[in-house]
Amino acid sequence: MSAVVFARHAMTPAERLRDAAWVAFVGLVLGIPMVGLTTVDAGGRLGVETRFGLLAAVVAAVFGGRLLLRWAIDQARNRKLERERASTATAADRASGALKLVNFLGWVALGTAITLPILFSDNRYVVDTATTVLIYVMLGWGLNVVVGLAGLLDLGYVAFYAVGAYSYALLSTQFGWSFWEALPVSGALAASFGILLGYPILRLRGDYLAIVTLGFGEIIRIILVNWTEFSGGPNGISSIPRPSFFGLDFTRSPAEGEQSFAGFFGLEFSPMHRLIFLYYLILVLALLTHAFVSRLRKLPVGRAWEALREDEIACQAMGMNTTHIKLSAFAIGAMLGGFGGVFFAARQGFISPESFVFTESAIILAIVVLGGMGSQMGVVLAATLLVLIPEFGRGLAEYRMLLFGLAMVLIMVWRPGGLLAHREPTLRLKPLQQSAPAKEAAR
């Protein structure tokens, strides 16, 4: 265990070379079966093809890359050490620094979020991608309550997402409910599913809980696939109505006796109106969610979630009913996931079970953990990253998902606590601003 980082001596060039050679050798061993050899279809049978040139290039790249990486890590470490030695910052200073950073990020994010559709008012792709980011932010915030705050590992979060999406889709296509009528009902349904799932498995700890939630997610998906009469089965549900602007539809040619959004405001019809409206709609609801969750965190129930994550037994000894606390976390998390599902259905206009697979749960969980457990801003940061990496990668075709996986590993290794690991206390005895001058006086 190399915990004693500061005692590491500087590596000599020979050591560096030996280290890189060893890594290159490992690369060679790993590369032989995957890069060096491959099987190709040779007229109905497989034949082996060798690509030793490519393998050599890969090994050389690994060698060079390792030298560079090692050097870069050492540099970064030294700089960090020096900075730590030089600075006299106290924990309180660092905390207020982190707080300032988070606040700054938050304002920047809010600013860009609001101005984005104005800047890109005729760019579908940007607005739509931003909408996707917002949906994932919502999902991240929902799961953050369950995993980040209450510490209950949920690998089947996609189930609630699916419940929300299907509730909206069914209520609107079968019963003609509007978006605004269906939204709260879908959220409530998702929340009840959260309680339904939560109740029988409260006794389970940690990873047992994880596998059962994973199973629950799969069960919901399998039922959606097979119960054709109810959910449309694998065909899914199409032609889901889009939210209207206080009763005004976003159509080019409104139905008899009705007015469209563009007609009412005397604008020329543009499909962007609907997109931008949906974006702002989700943004407003996301901000409400943010306010809601941030406030909850500062309430007894929020602190109870965090206490539960920290030590369940101590919670019981404090007279807290852990059953209720867990269920409330599950319910609130599920409800937010359900809202996310509604937005997803409204964005797509079409849903099918394919969109609610385990990978989706894994990505939402990754958003929470990469962001820094329990950190609302972290979720925003991580959701943006995880949605944008594959989008950026569209130019890279096959390398896209490979880089996505690699990025997840690297971010985790680089910052095991998540991107924004700082935890801001829910209340302070002395506000931060007051402690600074007091320290000045003490010097």
Question: Quick one: 13 or 387, whose CB is closer to other proteins?
Answer: 387
Please identify, among the stretches 11-19, 123-131, 257-265, 333-341, the one whose residues bind other proteins according to the rule CB under 8 A.
Answer: 123-131
Residue 418 CB, nearest approach to other proteins (Å)? 8
CB of 153 to other proteins, least distance (A): 7
Least Å from the CB of residue 35 to other proteins: 5
Return the residues of window 261-320 that contact other proteins according to CB under 8 A: 271, 274, 292, 295-296, 299-301, 303-304, 306-307, 310-311, 313-320
Per-residue burial over 389-426, b = 16 or more CB atoms within 10 Å of its CB, e = otherwise: beeebeeeeeeeeeebeebbeebeeeeeebbbebebee
Interface positions, 135-154, toward other proteins (CB under 8 A):
147, 153
| Tokens matching residue 372 | 């820094």
In this chain, which of 14, 119, 255, 442 binds other proteins, going by CB under 8 A? 119
354: its two tokens:
């394919």
Task: Tell me how far apart the terminal alpha carbons of the chain are, to the nearest angstrom.
Answer: 39
Task: Report residue 105: phi and psi, to 5°.
Answer: -55, -40
Q: Which is nearer to other proteins, 13 or 233 (CB)?
A: 233
Q: Do residues 134 and 282 make contact, with C-beta atoms less than 8 angstroms apart?
A: yes
Q: How far apart are CA 159 and CA 341, in angstroms?
A: 10
Q: What are phi and psi of 144, to 5 degrees?
A: -60, -35
What DSSP letter does each residue of 128-159 carry, written as one string? HHHHHHHHHHHHHHHHIIIIIIT----S-THH
Neighbours of 20 (CB within 10 A): 20
Rounded to a whole number of angstroms, the minimum distance from the CB of residue 79 to other proteins is: 19
Shortest separation between residue 122's beta carbon and other proteins, angstroms: 9
- Asked if 297 and 426 count as a contact pair (C-beta separation under 8 A), the reply is yes
Q: Between residues 259 and 348, which has the closer beta carbon with respect to other proteins? A: 348
Structure-block tokens of residue 203? 């006794």
CB of 437 to other proteins, least distance (A): 16
Site for other proteins in 392-421 (CB under 8 A): 392, 394-395, 397-402, 404-409, 412-413, 416-417
* Closer residue to other proteins in complex, CB, 13/413: 413
87 lines the binding site for other proteins (CB under 8 A): no
Least distance to other proteins from the beta carbon of 181, Å? Answer: 22
**Cβ nearer to other proteins, comparing 192 with 348:** 348
Q: Dihedrals φ, ψ of 140, to 5°?
A: -60, -45
Of the residues 16, 19, 38, 263, which one makes contact with other proteins according to CB under 8 A: 38
For residue 194, the minimal CB distance to other proteins (Å) is 16
Tell which residue, 189, 178, 128, 187, has the closest CA to residue 342.
187
Q: Does 126 bind other proteins (CB under 8 A)?
A: yes
352 contacts other proteins (rule: CB under 8 A): yes
